[in-house]
Amino acid sequence: MNKVLKAREWLSNINVLCQFPSVEVPGKKASKSELQRWLDQGSVLINGERVSRDELIDFPIISVVLFPKSEHRRCTLL
């Protein structure tokens, strides 16, 4: 049975593996609250679309882009 995940849960699970660096606290891993703020601010694209924190994720996930508008902080996961 496939588990349905909300965007905030999925991003939090990925953060365990990738350990996204915090923008708010340099040198630390991004917190769950910070990840939720990224989703609220439109700083996360999943499969080319902005997602809200409570939106259910459509699988398969082909790409994830963090900070798509930033030249320096942009991170693409394929």
Cβ neighbour number for residue 13 with a 10 Å cutoff: 11
Q: Show the tokens assigned to 76.
A: 């693409």
Peptide bond connecting 26 to the previous residue in cis, omega within 30 degrees of 0 = no
Residue 2: its pLDDT value, please?
A: 60
What is the model's pTM? 0.85
Q: How far apart are CA 23 and CA 2, in angstroms?
A: 33
Q: In this predicted model, what pLDDT tens digit does every residue of 48-78 receive, in sequence order? A: 999 999 999 988 999 999 999 988 888 888 7
Mean pLDDT of 28-53: 94
